Amino acid sequence: MIERFPISVIIVSWNTRALTLAAIDSVFRQNDPDVEVIVIDNASGDDSVSQIQRCFPQVRLIVNDRNRGFAAANNIGMHAAKGELFLLLNSDAELISPRLFDVVRGKFAGRPDIAAIGGKLIFPSGRVQAMGRTFLSLKSVIKEQLLFASMCPQNAGRRRHPLVVDYIDGAFMAVRRQVFEKIGGFDERYFMFAEDMEWCRRMKNSGWKIVVLPELVIRHYHGAAAKLHFRRMLFHCLVSSCRFISQFENDSRAKSVYDIFLIGFLLRIMLSLMRGNGLAMEYCRALIEGLTMRPQLKRLLTED
């Protein structure tokens, strides 16, 4: 018999009203009485707050007075949470698998060495997006930015058994409260991007394992909020990636990663023009911002 640990589902919302409502609904459709839902709204400019209050009055809603970023908002949610397990769910993600919470409980109960559990993230088309990832490195940045290589393992969707991985996406991340109490939550210097990777790195450095359960399926609309401000998304991704490399490797490699990203932006300008997808100007603006901020890289990587 599965011990029914109370679970706190934490959803950070920012200008994704329809997706956020769908995410909340997917949690309640699990019909699990030992689950609470906490939504942290990062000062949305739409009517997300009023719609959540109207459609789901049972949700604990925390409204920030400004956009605190993904890391800080999740930390606020975890501090407020009552559960023994936290399940971080993106506002643009939906739980698909039945009895998902019982599967998570069962795995944690049998494996005290596991800090966090992820699942199979799929695109709306059904194609596998991710089943765990490897830590960022100079080599992987070169492959992704210059060679356009996917960081998702080949044939990932065919795997049926639990996988031990480097890290899991913050779009769906089940974590023990004990982890939060021992090593803290997300590093809030990461406004968005790489905060999940950095947190999992600290978990692994503390002796825990990160596991993916392929039977847990989550539909992820991938960056729905970020795409509203694509240039800023690109720049945050650049800075957060460099911060991770600087934190766990060295500043010299972080500088190389920064420059590789800039070259990647340039390549994507040309590719976007060829494809006519309307993103060329956004990549161009991100490239200009990156070049402008390049002399201040050290400050970017150390400031809170």
Alpha carbons 276 and 278: distance in angstroms, whole number: 6
CA 249 – CA 251 distance, rounded (Å): 7
Taking the C-alpha atoms of residue 118 and residue 22, their distance in angstroms, rounded to an integer, is 20
Please state, in angstroms and rounded to a whole number, the distance separating the CA atoms of residues 65 and 288: 30
105 with 5: CB under 8 angstroms? yes
User: Which tokens in the block code for residue 2?
Assistant: 């599965």
Q: How far apart are CA 15 and CA 49, in angstroms?
A: 10
CA neighbours closer than 13 Å in the CB half-sphere of residue 187: 21
234 within 8 A of 288, measured Cβ to Cβ? no
Q: Which of 257, 283, 285, 286 is nearest to 270 (CA)?
A: 283
The C-alpha atoms of residue 7 and residue 78 are separated, in whole angstroms, by: 11
DSSP for residue 188: T
CA-to-CA distance for 148 and 65, rounded, in angstroms? 38
Per-residue confidence in pLDDT tens, the chain, 304 aa: 556 779 999 999 999 999 999 999 999 999 999 999 999 999 999 999 999 999 999 999 999 999 999 999 999 999 999 999 999 999 999 999 999 999 999 999 989 999 999 999 999 999 999 999 999 999 999 999 998 876 555 445 567 789 999 999 999 999 999 999 999 999 999 988 899 999 999 999 999 999 999 999 999 997 655 566 788 889 999 999 999 999 999 999 999 999 999 999 999 999 999 999 889 999 999 999 999 999 999 888 877 6
Task: Extract the tokens encoding 69.
Answer: 């970023």
Q: Which residues pair with 122 in a beta bridge?
A: 128, 219
Q: At what angle do helices 251-275 and 280-293 cross, to 10 degrees?
A: 160
User: What pLDDT is attached to residue 230?
Assistant: 86
Tokens of 183: 């090593």
Q: Exposed e or buried b for every residue in 245-267, given b needs 16+ CB within 10 A?
A: bbbbeeeebbbbbbebbbebbee
The CA-CA-CA angle for residues 172, 177, 179, to 5°, reads: 85
Q: Please, what are the domains in the chain?
A: 7-136+145-220 (3.90.550.10), 226-302 (no CATH)
> Cα-Cα-Cα-Cα dihedral of 214, 23, 136, 78, to 10°?
-100
Task: For residue 45, count other CB atoms closer than 10 A to its CB.
Answer: 9
